[in-house]
Structure formats: C-alpha cells, structure tokens
Amino acid sequence: MKRLIFSLLAAGSTFLNINAQIGEPFIHDPSTLVECDGKWYTFGTGGGGLISDDGWSWHGGAERPGGGAAPDVIKMGNKYLMIYGATGGGLGGGHSGRILTMWNNTLDPKSPDFKYTTAVEVASSDGMEDNDAIDPGVLLDPTTGRMWLSYGTYFGNIRIVEIDPKTGYRVKGNKAKDIAIDCEATDLIYRNGWYYLLGTHGTCCDGVNSTYNIVVGRSKNVLGPYIDNVGRDMLAGGGKMVVAAGDRKTGAGHFGRTIIDEGVEVTSFHWEADFDQGGRSVLAIRPLLWKNDWPVAGERFREGTYEIESERRGYSLELAVDFVRLNVPRQRGGWNQPAQQGEQPTLIGEQKLDDVKGAWPTGNIDIRIGDYMFRPHQRWTITAVPEAGGYLSNPYFKITIAGTDRALAATSKMEVTSVPSFTGADEQLWRIEQLTDGTFRIMPKAIPGKKGVNTVYCLYSIGDSTPTLAKYEFKSDNSKWNFKEYAK
Amino acid sequence: MLLGSVLGMNAQNPIIRNQYSADPTARVFNGRVYLFPSHDIISPVEPERKWFCMADYHMFSSNDLMDWTDNGVILSQEDVPWGNPKGFAMWAPDCVFKPEGPQSANSRLNNGKYYFYFPDAPKEGRGFGIGVAIADNLFQPKFVPQPTPIQGAMGIDPCVLQASDGNSYLFWGGGMIQVAKLKDNMVELDGKPERITLPKGFVEGPFAFERNGKFYLTYPWVRKDGGTECLAYAMSDKPMGPYEHKGIIMAEHPNGCWTNHHSIIEFKDQWYLFYHNNAYSPSFDKNRSVCVDSLFFNADGTIQEVKPTLRGVGITDARKAVQIDRYSEIGGKAHIEYHDTLNYFLGWKTVLPKGGWVKYNRVDPKSSSAQNVCVRVKTTAATILKLQLGAYATNLNIPATKGEWKEVNIAVKAMPQGVNDLKLSNIGVAQAEVDWITLTESPREQYFTPATAAAMTPDKDGFIRRWMLLEPIDKPNRSNTVFVDTYLREQFTKEYFPGQMTVLPKGGDKVTVDGKSLTWHALESTRFNVKLFRFATGLEKQEYGVLFWAVTVIDCPEEIKDVRLAAGSNSASMWWLNGEEVLLLSGDRRMVKDDGLSPRITLKKGRNILRGAIINGPGMSDFCVRFIDEKGEPVKNCSITLK
C-alpha cells in the first residue's frame, strides 16, 4: 500500500507544473477575464484581484475599492465597467444587497489614469424579498447592444435587470425579472442565437468538501425562460452541468467566458480547493467547448505521448523517414483458417524506437502527414516547458519524438521541421489550445524572422500529407488537430 | 402578521427592537459599525429585584446604521473567571481594536486583536472590577476574558481612548471619572489613575474621543439636585486633561428616564450620538433601549445639542416597513399608541383621525418603477389616505377592515425614484390606524393562503399544493454538511411526537416536542414549491436549523399502479406513502424539480396519506412534490384533501 501511495504521489508531482495557473492564482469568485494594455485581469471577492502578463502566470495586485463579493468587469470601448455587490451575501450583513457599477479608464493600478468613478447603485434587495443582490454577471448583447445583469444567490431568485451601456446606470423604469432559483454566482452569455444563464450550484466555501459546480440553461430570449437539456426551467431548479469537480480539484464556481479567437474560447472560474495547492481557492482556466449548442468545459491539456492526427484527413504527423516494415510471418493457412483447439494467439511486438532510429538522419528531418501505424516516427511526447511562460489555459510545450530529444520546430520559410535536439528556442515551443468543437490548434510561439509572439499562424494541413504554417481559420479543418493517446 | 409578509426593520429609534439594550458603545471597524451595549433584562432572581440587571453582552453590527444584525452573545457572566456568575452586573462596556506591530498602509488584514472592556461584580467582595476579554476577530468572535480584572481600576463604565499620540487611555466611572494610561498590552495600567475635575453633580459613563487635535470627554451628568442625567462634555488639549466643561449634548429625558449613557462616532463623514431611553419599558426605567441621532459640531469644535428623535438616522428603504409612528412631524390630532401594553416590543401604531397627518423624512423606494403601496391598516369604515412624496401625491382608497389589521395593496402611478419626505394624511372621514407603509414595484409575494374545503387537484404540472405543515422543530445544525444518510435516517425516523407516522392532524392541532408546543397549519402554497422558510418566518418562528413535518391526503378515484413520487427539497427530506418509506433525498440539497424519484409504487383507490420530513441548516427551506406515471406524465386525476 505504501508503495502505491508513493507512486500516486510521484505521478501527481510530475504534472504539477501544468496543473493550474501558476504564480499566486489565489482568488474566490473571479470576474470574467479582461485584457488591458496587453495584460490580463480578474477581480475577486473582497477587493483585490489578479494580474497576468501572459495569461498563465497570475499574481495579486489588481485593485478594486468597495469590498463586497464577486465582481464582474467588461471592456466598453476604451473604458472598463466594474460591477460588484457591495455586501457580503448574508455573512453578518443579512440579505439586503446592493449592486454598484463604476468606470475606470484602465485596470492598471500603476497607471496615472487609474481612477474609479463614484459607484452608482443599479440593483438592490431589501433583505426580506426572495433575492440577495450580490454576485452580478454582465452581458453586452451583441445582437442589440443592450446590457443585461444577472444577480442573486440561493436566498431566493436570480434576477435580471437592464443597464444603460453608455452610463452604467440602470435603465429607467426597468423592472427586475426572476429567471432562476437554486444557484448563485451567475453569468449571462450569448452565442449562436441562444442566451445562456450559467449558475453555480452546490455548496460553497467548504474547502475540499465544497460541492460547488457550474450549470447552464438557455433561452432564445434574454429574459428567459432559461431551460435545461431535459426541458426544465431554471426557475424550477433546472441546469445542465458545465464543469464539476475532478482532476484533484473541487468546487467549480463563478463562470466567465473569454473569446480568444473564432472557435477558441476559455472559461474562467475558481476551484474552491486545489488538492495540489494545499486546498486553497485558485483561479482555473479551461477550454470552453460547445456541443449541440451547449457549453461544456474541456479538460486541461495533459502532458503525454500522443498521435497528432489531422482533422483534414485523419492522417498522422510524422517524421519523413523510411517506413520500416514489421517482419511478422503471416498466419498459417491464411486469414480464414479456423484456430486450432487450445492454440494461444501469438502476441506481436510493436516496432521499437531502437529498431528504426539508427537509420534516421542525424540532422533536421522533414515533417509530413501519413497513415497512422503507431510507429516510432509517429509518436510524439508533449512536455510543458514552464520556464517559457504560457498563454490563457496552458504553458508552452515542446513536441518531441517519443524517447528522443528531436523536436518539432517552425522554420523561417513558414514550414515545419524537426531539429535533432530541443534547445528551448521559441520556434520549438508550441501553444496548444482546444477549440470549441473539441479539436486543437497548434501554434509555434515564434517564427524565425517574424517579430514577437505568434498568435496568427498554426500547424496546418496544406495537403493530406503535407503540413505547413498558415493563418488559423476555424472554418477550415486544415487548422485542426486531435491528440490521441498512444496505446501502451 | 400571521403568514403575511414579515417585514424587517428600518433604522428608527429605538434601533434594537427584540431585546432591551443600554449604554451603547459604537465603534467603527473596517467600515462596519459595531455596537456593544449592555443587555438589560428583567431580573430572573426571585423575588424580582427592580434594579439594573445584566447577565451578558450581545454585539450588533451594521453597514449603514439602518440594518442591524444581532451577532449574538459575546460574553456571559458565567465566563468571567474572576466574576460573580450570579452577579447580573455586566454594565456598560467598550471595545477597541489594537493592531499588532506596524501596519502597512494598504493592509486589509487585521494583524491585531479586539479588546473588550467590561465592568463586573467580583466573586468576592463588593463593588465592581473592570475586566478585559480578547478576540482575534469579530466574525463569530470568541472573546476570552483575562483571569483577573485590571489592577488599580475599580469601578464601572470603562472607555478606552486611542489617542493620536500612540497611547491608549482608560477612563472609567464610579462616583467620579478617573483616567489612567494603559500599557502596550492593553490589560494593565501604566501609572496611577488620575481623577478628572468636572463640574459639581453626579457623573458617570465617560466616553472620550479625539477630533481635530482636541480631546473630548463626554459624560452623563446630573446637573440639578434631585434631577436626572443629561449628557455633557468637556474639552482638553491633552488626553488626560485637565478638561474644561463646555456644555450639554443632550438634555434630560422628558419622561423621567433617570439614566442616559452614550457614545459618539464618525461614520461616512457624519457624526452620530448613540444613547438610550426606556421606550420599550415606559413604567420601569432600568430596562432601556438604544437610539441613534446625528450630531453636529460648530466651527470652533463645540458640540451642538442633539434633540432626540423618533425618526433616527439614515434614508429609509421604503420597500421595507416604514414605521410612520417614528415620524419626524405630526399634526391634525394624529398621535401614536403602543400596539400592546403587555408587550411593548410590538411597537407603536399611528392613529390618524380625520384631518390627521404624519410626515416621515427621507424615504427611498429604490426603484424607478415603484407602483405599489402596501399599508397595514385597521379601520371600521372606508377612508382615503393621501400619500405625498415630495411633489408627488396620490390618494389611497382604504377599505373598511372590520376593526382587523389588514395589509392593503394599492396600485399607483410610478412613484418618484430617490429620496423624498413621505407624508400621509387622512382626507377621508373615518379614522384609520396605520402600522406601517411600504412602496414597492409589485405587491409583496404571498406564499400561502389558508387551506379551504374546496375541491383541489394537483396543479397543471401535477404538483401538490395543499399541505398540513407543522411549525419547525428545533434542529440547530449550523451547516448542512452533517446531512449524510446515516444522520438523516436517524433524525427522520426518531419520534418527536406521539402518532408522528399515523396522525392526520387538523389545522390548529398542537403537539409538544422537547417541551415546546408546535401547531399544525392547514395551508395552500401559491407556488409549485412549498416555501417552508416563508412558513417559518411568517409565523415568526426560527427559519434556520429546523426540521419540518408535512402531511397531505391524495384521494384517488381509481387505483393507479406504477407511479413514482418525484420530489425536490432544500435541504434533505424523507417521504412516506401510506406509512411506507418511498424516498430519501440526502446530502446538502437544493430544491430541484424531479430531483429524486421513488421506485414504482401504487396509489390505491381512495385516500392515500403522503408524509414528509424536511431538514435544513441555514438557507431557504422548501420542497416540491408530485407523482409521475409510467409515461412520465404528472398524475392529476386525484384530489388533494386534508381529511
């Protein structure tokens, strides 16, 4: 038993470096991620928030006055609208909640322009009604330009009100409408003709035992009814799971959605407890997938050895080396010969790296795409390179032929090759992101001869058998890849 | 109030309305006001001693001086190692925060401790000692008393001044007012006490503070021989004096309440005076109640006299009961009366005869679409009340209520948003008595109506809305984390009252559980979900840490086979059909439609008794129940009776 525990711990520790956002990502009720002057920001309960230069490494330092719980923030033109609950949600303050909005020209507390306007109240609860006005989530409806706010907790109903996007004030004469029960820390999003209400269900603030989880209902009308996948109204407690506990983390709460590119989305939320960080409440960023117009959080990308399969043809990324046949005698009498009684089938060994490596050139080897035959030249080991930084959701990875140091690299001619050994150069670092349809895009951190961090060009199937670097297009399967775990 | 809307309290005087409270020391910590009063009680000692009697301290707190939370008992006389556990001498306290070591300017963390100073009678000997109890925080604080009282400070009414010179000074009373510097440890005197020279006459209850470099010593003072206490003040350039008497902050209580005792704070750019009177005990002035009013300084630093008001401070949230008996002006023969002179805590009503009016300043409906006025009113004939909010005016047609209290909702044109003075005038003929008034967007939701004998089926979705509900059984779980299957099975199957699993009670029937009499109520839910939280609060029963029993009868014209009970509950629940357990919803649950379903069961022809028990810690308790047939359709061809 001792040995088993040891090996489990050891297995856990090898993945620590990509287990969560790094730095000090400690936060509760993170607001939707928002970018300001090249940095990412998120704001939490209590007052402060986190800042990240690259989206992967997060540190304290963001500032929001007013205290209270669970803010949300949205960029409006070149200004930022901060929305927050001024009270604590029942903790010593009863259920008389107030939601306030305020503007800032920047989120950077070091900027001379950093100054919040005087906060104005846009919604409140009187302490007795079925609502506690905290936990706002904001939506700017892309179809109408109107701004909506959902808010509330388990103390009664989740409500929606309309905000004037120009002023941040409540629209005059607007009446609050009830849209859900049984949740808190809600958010509204819009996609593809549907409005979605994301709510946090389960139990908060109980550390490793917190059952917090994020559920969703959708509606064709922003005012509801928000219906779940079995036709149940969120006003009757309905909700379909978006993210639950797992991966040594419990208590997913306070959904936010960030669109990075067409078809590249992430959800941000917090874990009530990360078992690998002493059970602290941490920021989580996961790919956001869409299945039949329902959002679902993808898994974090795991290091491992994979086939890299093109979505275009289903062929596999490989070294352009000789295909070495396996010399296994064909079955006696042909494929249709009945097996003899008691005869055990022979196990056929797979081709090993050492069987073929010797014949490979020692310099750069070209990359192509071919029929997947689980051969050594098609097995890729993907390893995080934490010191290289990261982006929203992941650190940069190196992609090497399993058992070797031969690494996938971008070239100055906008092609891909493999170099005999990984040097840490930016063109050998890869950004891997899961797309909303579940496939992945793979981008070099940099392309020799091109300035700065690359966020445009990805590994691309220009032919069934030919990879290159080309502009990422969500519409084209040429931009997409799948990672299939190499069978052991 | 029964099953009506229970309305919380706005800041009107007195501010603590569920118990007596006196000698209020208010302090501001981290932007929240904390109130540390004495807790007057009626002497439990036989024969009743008609004197000051205080056994413990409650702490109250507020973000806005309007909504006050009772944070519960923070120290009892039994907890004080050196105190007499039956002394009933826990008089006026104080509480201060002292940071530990240097604080960084932007630190939000309280690296320090809260020091609570209180007088108490010692175990042996006479007089009073002054104790200190220390807590790390004020969120569910644990104040741990020091083993001994402060040496060298015999007396009452401690007050700590944390001066800008970095020192803390302890002031106290007891025939005179004394002061001594406190050591850095806050529990020992640093040097000898000094007596402060003040004008002739009895003084006690010192409260010292600093403003614009001046030190203020304020105190209750009997300025006339044989008189009662007013509040006076003196000023100095130094914390320990000498203090120069300056004048009066508040005159003697006009009703003869002998004591007054106070504190002064600045909160959100306004100064406030906390003090007490005997509003809830008009015939015995040792049971007192805390009030608050605004206080103003003159340019030269002297204090303007404060006239006590009923109205108190702040802007009143008009969605909640505006207690117009706490008026700012009154006229036309309108007057106030106690609701019940046997229970003064029920407060006052306003009697508005023809031509009578009250004005109540600074109310805010907090909405740009407030279109409903609700008045809790008692009349014998219809009348008209004119409601004015600034320039806005509307007439409210008040029906005859046959001498009963009734909540009357009246739709009106949208009322102005923002702060206005409210005036209510009787422009009809008949007299009206008004308890309170609210201004809201819509009529406040009614969750239940009394069950009738009328035929009733499940609702359109099959939910059962007619129930017999038992008042909550005390089950003081502070959290729902204990609701594991084993615990629930034990709690749901244990006998609380005879016939628990067989009885079909009638509305008004009573059972006794743990010595407490609980009543069954025959009700119909206005929603598909039965809001037990509102059932409890509507009856002014405890709403958290409770177990509810619910019973109903499903009368089927035919046997219905292979149905399932479909239930959702907040939190855990157990259900029995005709005495057989059919479903347990365990864990910390929320009320979700069709959360759990029973195995296939049979609804027999005729009467079927469905019984449920629902348990909850904190949070809103409710449940929803229906039967689903084999095709997944709700069962509706039955009637719901309570017989």
Residue B358: inside a domain: yes
pLDDT band with cut points at 50, 70 and 90 for residue B126: confident
Per CB-CB distance under 8 Å, the chain B contacts of A239 are 592
Q: Residue B109: which pLDDT band, with cuts at 50, 70 and 90?
A: very low
Residue B378: CATH number of its domain:
2.60.120.260
Do both B357 and B477 map to the same domain? no
| Contact at CB, B444 and A156, closer than 8 angstroms | no
Cα–Cα dist A339/A342, whole Å: 8
pLDDT level of residue B101 (50, 70, 90 thresholds):
low
At residue A177, does pLDDT exceed 50? yes
> For residue B301, is it within any domain?
no
Same domain, B613 and B522: yes
- Supply the range of the domain harboring residue B345: 316-440
Strand partners for B470: B520
Residues B520 and B428 placed together within one structural domain of the fold: no
Q: What does the DSSP assignment read for B330-373? A: EETT-EEEES-TT-GGG-EEEEE-TT-EEEEEEEE--SS---EE
Query: In this structure, is residue B360 part of a structural domain?
Result: yes
Among the options B94, B120, B157, B204, which is catalytic?
B204
Q: Are residues B495 and B468 in the same domain?
A: yes
Would you call B540 a catalytic residue per the annotation?
Answer: no
pLDDT band at A107 (very low <50, low <70, confident <90, very high): very high
**B484 — contact with chain A (CB < 8 Å)?**
no
List pLDDT tens digits, range B557-594. 999 999 999 999 999 999 999 999 999 999 999 999 99
Given this model, what pLDDT does residue B9 score? 54
- B481/A209 CB distance under 8 A: yes
Interior/surface letters B117-156, b for 16+ CB within 10 angstroms, e for the rest = bbbbbbeeeeebbbbbbbbeebeebebbbbeebbeebbbb
B604: which DSSP letter?
P
Angstroms from A222 CA to nearest CA on chain B: 20
Is B155 a domain residue? Answer: yes
A92:B61 CB<8 A: yes
Sign, CA dihedral A414-A416-A420-A423, equals: positive
The closest of A83, A295, A268 to A196, measured between CA atoms, is A295
Give the tokens for residue B617: 């810690």
Using the Cβ of B444 and the Cβ atoms of chain A, whether some distance falls under 8 Å is answered with yes
What angle is formed at CA B337 by the lines to CA B335 and CA B341, rounded to 5 degrees? 165
* CB-based contact, B445 to chain A, within 8 Å: yes
- Domain check: are B74 and B188 in the same one? yes
Inter-chain residue contact B63 with A93, CB threshold 8 Å: yes
At A19, the pLDDT band (50, 70, 90 cuts) reads low
Say yes or no: B593 contacts chain A, CB-CB below 8 A: yes
Is residue B457 in a domain? yes
Mean pLDDT of chain A: 91
pLDDT band at A272 (very low <50, low <70, confident <90, very high): very high
**A486 — pLDDT class (breaks 50, 70, 90):** confident
Say if the Cβ atoms of B69 and A155 lie within 8 Å. Answer: no
Contacts A60 to B, Cβ<8 Å: none
pLDDT of residue B223: 96
Yes or no: say if A75 and A35 are a contact pair by the CB < 8 Å rule. Answer: yes
The residue among B415, B440, B465 that closes a domain is B440
Tell me the domains of chain A and their CATH numbers: 17-297 (2.115.10.20), 304-333+346-485 (2.80.10.50)
Q: Say if B152 falls within a structural domain.
A: yes
Contacts of B9 (CB under 8 A, 6+ apart): B17, B67, B68, B320, B321, B323
What distance in Å separates the CA atoms of residue A462 and residue A453, rounded to the nearest whole number?
23
The per-residue pLDDT for range A279-324, each reduced to its tens digit, is: 999 999 999 999 999 999 999 999 999 999 999 999 999 999 999 9
Asked whether residue A89 carries a pLDDT value surpassing 70, the answer given is no
**B458 shares a domain with B434:** no
Burial class (CB in 10 A: 0-12, 13-18, 19+), B414: middle
Residue A67 confidence (pLDDT) above 50: yes
Only one residue has tokens 């559980």, namely B513
Q: Is the pLDDT of residue B524 over 60?
A: yes
Contacts of A96 in chain B (CB under 8 A): 8, 67, 317
CB pairs under 8 A between A and B: 93
Q: What is the pLDDT of residue B138?
A: 86
* CATH number (domain holding residue B90): 2.115.10.20
What are the pLDDT digits (tens) for A40-52? 999 998 888 999 9
Spatial distance between the Cα atoms of B85 and B49, rounded to a whole number of angstroms: 17
Identify whether B305 is part of a domain. Answer: no
Tell me what pLDDT residue B66 has: 84
B1 pLDDT above the threshold of 50? no
B202-221 residue pLDDT tens: 999 999 999 999 999 999 99
Closest CA to A433 of A474, A377, A393: A393
| Shortest Cα distance, chain A CAs vs residue B454, angstroms | 27
Model confidence at A13, pLDDT cuts 50, 70, 90, reads very low
**What is the domain-level CATH number for residue B567?**
2.60.120
Domain end residue (candidates: B261, B295, B329): B295
Q: Residue B23 catalytic?
A: yes
- The two tokens of residue A295 are 């959002």
Q: Is the predicted pLDDT of residue A331 greater than 80, yes or no?
A: no
**pLDDT above 50: residue B110:** no
Confidence of residue B8 (pLDDT cuts 50, 70, 90): very low
d(CA A195, CA A188): 7
Residue A14 has pLDDT above 50, yes or no: no
**Neighboring chain B residues of A202 at a CB cutoff of 8 Å:** 588
pLDDT surpasses 50 at A10: no
Residue A336 has pLDDT above 80, yes or no: no
- Cβ contacts (< 8 Å) between A87 and chain B: which residues? 63
Same domain, yes or no: B436 and B461: no
Of A163-172, A327-336, B146-155, B626-635, the poorest mean pLDDT is in A327-336
Average pLDDT over residues A394-406: 97
Q: Is the pLDDT of residue B5 over 50?
A: no
Question: What percent of the residues of chain B are helix, what percent strand, and what percent coil, each to the nearest 5?
Answer: 5, 45, 50
Say yes or no: B155 and B219 in one domain.
yes
In percent, how much of chain A has pLDDT > 70?
A: 92
pLDDT digit string, tens, across residues B239-259: 999 999 999 999 999 999 999
Q: Testing the interface with B: which of A182, A227, A240 to mutate, by most B Cβ within 10 A?
A: A182
- In angstroms, rounded to a whole number, what is the distance separating the alpha carbons of residues A468 and B159? 79
Label the pairing between strands A280-291 and A22-23: unpaired
Instruction: Provide CB contacts within 8 A for B338, sequence distance 6+.
Output: B344, B346, B347, B348, B349
Q: Tell me the pLDDT tens digit for each residue of B276-313.
A: 999 999 999 999 999 999 999 999 999 999 999 999 99
One domain for residues B452 and B436? no
CB B424, CB B410: distance < 8 Å: no
Judgement on whether residues B117 and B143 belong to the same structural domain of the protein: yes
Cα B462 to Cα A274, B580, B636, distances in angstroms: 43, 21, 5
pLDDT reported for residue B12: 87
Size of chain A, expressed as the number of residues it contains:
488
Residues of B in Cβ contact (< 8 Å) with A211: 588
Given an 8 Å threshold on Cβ–Cβ distance, is B368 in contact with A182?
Answer: no
Q: Which of B69, B592, B594 sits opposite A94 (nearest CB)?
A: B69
Cα atoms found within 13 Å of the Cα of residue B537, Cβ hemisphere only = 20
pLDDT in tens, B422-478: 999 999 999 999 999 999 999 988 999 999 999 999 999 999 999 999 999 999 998
Question: What single-letter amino acid sits at B419?
Answer: V
B160 and B268 together in one domain: yes
| Alpha-carbon distance values, B78 to B24, B84, B89 (Å) | 22, 8, 11
Mean pLDDT over residues A390-418, rounded?
97
Q: What percent of chain B has pLDDT over 90?
A: 86
pLDDT at B540 over 90: no
Looking at residue A88, its pLDDT comes to 63
Contact residues, chain B, for A126 at CB < 8 Å: 8, 317, 319-320, 366
Minimal C-alpha gap between A114 and chain B (Å): 17
- From A48's Cα to the closest Cα of chain B, the distance in A is 10
The C-alpha of B229 sits at a distance from chain A's nearest C-alpha, in angstroms, of: 35
- Answer yes or no: do B85 and B219 share one domain: yes
| Residue of A227 and A22 predicted with greater confidence | A227
**pLDDT of amino acid A1:** 32
Judged against a pLDDT cut of 90, whether residue B318 lies above it is answered with yes
- CA-CA distance, A442 to A408, in Å (whole number)? 11
CB contact under 8 A, A203 and B480: yes
List the single residue in A48, A175, A238 with the smallest CB-CB distance to B369: A175
Rounded CA gap, A283 and A252, in Å? 10
> How many domains does one find in chain B?
3
pLDDT higher than 80, residue B547: yes
Which of A99, A129, A169 to mutate against chain B (most B CBs within 10 Å)? Answer: A129
In a domain, B306, yes or no: no
Q: B417, B440, B463 — which closes off a domain?
A: B440
Residues of chain A in contact with residue B567, where contact means CB-CB under 8 angstroms, are none
